[in-house]
Each structure stands twice: as structure tokens, then as C-alpha cells.
Amino acid sequence: MKLMKCLLIENDCYKAGAGMKPRGVMVHSTGVNNPNLRRYVQPVAGQENYDGLIAALGKNSNGNHWNRHIDDPNKRKCVHAFIGKLADGSIATVQTLPWEMQAWHCYYGPNGSGNATHIAFEICEDNLDDPVYFRSVYKEAVEFTAYLCKLYGLDPLADGVVICHKEGARRGIASTHSDVENWFPRMGCSMDGFRQDVKDLMTEQKEEEGMKTYDTVSQIRAEASWAAPTIEKLCMANALRGGSEAKDAEGYPADLHLSEDALRILVINDRMGLYSK
């Protein structure tokens, strides 16, 4: 995932600034044959990192982006992020609202509005016939949704947590749009498959985190500083020797190969005084 930020500070939704506690993620697609992020996302003059954002996004010369006031209240809208093409053709996600700010993305239905419960993002559509582009934005969307679910402790397979706009309409919390069921099935995909892909990625990431190991004292200081005093103490006492004779510049073992679980056990034992003379 390539995540950038360009908040739509001139959008009426951003200025309204209503808060929200995210309880789900709603997936949208734009309904327009334009995969370029610059169509929707632009910084305004004086905005932080203006030049860098314009260089990355490209310039919207038509001025029809979403970082502006819209006179017609019936056409005001905003989402938390867009997925599409940067100026160099690569795929990225751009955050456009704070995650805990209500977006105006799905209107409402007889059972309320997903605006008050779901983080929303738009995938920039192309002509809906390019499987290469679809696979790229689908992968980005899976990774982004997994990121949000992990950030807010959400289970993507739980009922109503990860849904598309059309599913929101069926649940009575959104207007009657067809996205993303107008696109995903054309490419052999579904929202059920999307949710499972998000869950599988989260499981894979959790397993990888559990397998992470720390080989040097300097790495532990940088990435797990809470364990550094204990590990330094054990190394100096020659209780931890590593898997080889290699040493770092300070004379500590350079091949400790300790998992995070091992670090936690050693720190707990140290706190209990088991390593005190």
C-alpha cells in the first residue's frame, strides 16, 4: 500500500467537521471513466506540501476536484480516501479526511446513514474492462481496508463491517447506488471475496509480526526499546550469547535471534527480580 495525505480542507464536509467513531468501512467506486487521482484530489494554494502533492498527483486543469466549496447543497460530497493513479501511473491511496470525521459519502436510507458509522473510500474507475488496472486497485483496496480494520480493531468478516455502497443501500443505511457491484463481478470478484481477502491479509500480517526476530542490541533499542535494558544486562552477564561468535561495535552479540515473545518473557522475569544477584 502507498498511503499519502491531501486533506480536502476547502470541502464543505471537512469544514462541517462532525466527529465519528468508525465501526466499519464502506467501499465505493466513482462511476466515471477516469482512473487519475488528480480528477478528485488536489491541494489548494498555501496548503502544506502543495508543490510536492501537485508533483505526485498531477494538475487538475479543469478545477473540478473535490477540494472546493460546491454551491449546490445536493451535490456536496466527500470521502475519507481515494485509490487510483498518480501522475507517474503508479497506484496509491490518498487520505482526504481525518479517519474520525464523518464523510458525506452514502446519503441515508430508512435505517439511518453509514456516514455516521463507516470510513469511506472511492476507487477511481476506468472503463471497467482493464483487468491489469483492476487487479492493482483491488490489491491496494484490500491492503488499505486491512490497515483500517487493524487500526480500529474491526473484523472484516463480521456482519456489516466491510460493505460496499450497494450493500449499504440493501441494509437501509445508504442511497441506491450500484457500486461496487457494477465492477467487481465483471472482473470475477465479489464483496464476499474482498472481505475474505482482507481477513486473510490481516492474518498473514499478524503471523509475520509474531515471527519477527531481533538480532542485535541496537535493533532492540530502535524497535523494542522497552526490552533494551534487560537484554543489555543479560548480554553483559554473558547469559545471552547469540547464535554465533559475531559481535557488534559495542561488544554485544550480533546474532541474538530473539522473538518478541522471548523479549517479553525475559523482561517479565527481570521485573520479577529473577536476574538480580
C-alpha cell at 20: 465519528
d(CA 64, CA 276): 68
Q: What's the pTM?
A: 0.79
- Taking Cα atoms as reference points, which of 270, 276, 275 lies closest to residue 226? 270
Q: How far is CA 18 from CA 70, 78, 110, 163, in A?
A: 18, 13, 21, 22
What would the DSSP string read from start to end of 167-220? HHHHTTSS-S--TTTTTGGGGT--HHHHHHHHHHHHHHHHHHHHH-EE-SHHHH
* pLDDT tens by residue, 135-192: 999 999 999 999 999 999 999 999 999 999 999 999 999 999 999 999 999 999 999 9
* pLDDT tens by residue, 59-76: 999 999 999 999 999 999
Lowest mean pLDDT among 83-97, 151-165, 173-187, 242-256: 242-256
Mean pLDDT on 28-36: 98
* pLDDT tens by residue, 12-25: 999 999 999 999 99
Mean pLDDT on 85-103: 98
Question: Average model confidence (pLDDT) for the chain?
Answer: 95
